[in-house]
Structures are given as C-alpha cells and as structure tokens.
Amino acid sequence: MYPVLHETGFASQPGGVSRDDGLRLREAWIASVVRCAPPKDKPTPQEVRNCSVHLTAELGQLSRLRVVVCLGKIAFDGYLAYLVSMGIIVRKSAYQFAHGSRYELPNGIHLLCSYHPSLRNTNTGRLDHAMFTRIFVQARALAGLDEGG
C-alpha cells in the first residue's frame, strides 16, 4: 500500500520499518473499522459494532475530509454504518461495493471503493498495482490536491 501512496503523493517514502523511519502521510489519514486482528482476518458484525465508537471519534476530528477510500468490503460496510448512524445517508442499500465504485455523498464527501490490498487479492491478480494506483490518483483529483488545494 505504501508504495502506491508514495507514488501518488500521499506518503513521504515508499515504505517504513519503524515508527521513527521518516514515513509520513501527506493530506491523508488511515483509519480502521476494526481495531483488532480477528481470526481469519474476518471480523464479526459484533466486532465491527464494538469498534465503531473509535471510527466515529477519528472521523469527527477530520474537519477537512473530502474523500474516503474504503479498502475492502468490510471497510465499506463499516463506513456506511457510520454514515447511517450520523444521519448522512438513510440506508446502506443505496450503495454497492465494487472496485472502482465512486459516490458523492449528501454531505459532499466522495467515497471511493477498492479491493483490500491483502496478499489474497494481490497474489491472485484480483488487485494489481495499476488498479490500486488509479484509485489514489482519482482520490487526489477529487480532493482538489492536483490544483494546489
């Protein structure tokens, strides 16, 4: 993930090995719908609900948020649940997950979807470098970052 974030201008370097190695995000924030590593990397609906308070708190601090990129269906469903809970959207069923899906939400934020960059997806070719890069190029444009914003 970090090589693509670096190539698209969202990270200061293509990778990191420690907290003090110089890697910094630029105009980006990484949040997680679930705060633990559940068995088989598949959180239960209850685990997602249990962690929703953390996601809500993080998103509440992002006053300049313009674009959200959901990495995978779990992130997508968790973010939609947040949007419903905040009254931003009425129902999740109006939104469908697919790699490359894009929505402009009622609050003006753009929502982009990508397959999760897990080895399961990258090793099988379901998600390749070019596909993943296009998502972040699009995020940069939608955020107005290519225009000096």
For 11, residues 6+ apart whose C-beta sits below 8 A from its C-beta are 2, 5, 23, 24, 25, 26, 28
Residues of the chain with pLDDT under 70: 147-149
Domains of the chain: 2-147 (3.40.470.10)
CA atoms within 13 A on the CB side of 5: 19
The token pair that represents 47 in the structure block:
């685990």
* pLDDT of res. 118: 92
Contact yes or no for 92/80 (Cβ under 8 A) = yes
* pLDDT of res. 35: 84
* pLDDT of res. 147: 60
Give dist(CA 88, CA 60) in Å, integer.
13
- pTM (2 decimals)? 0.92
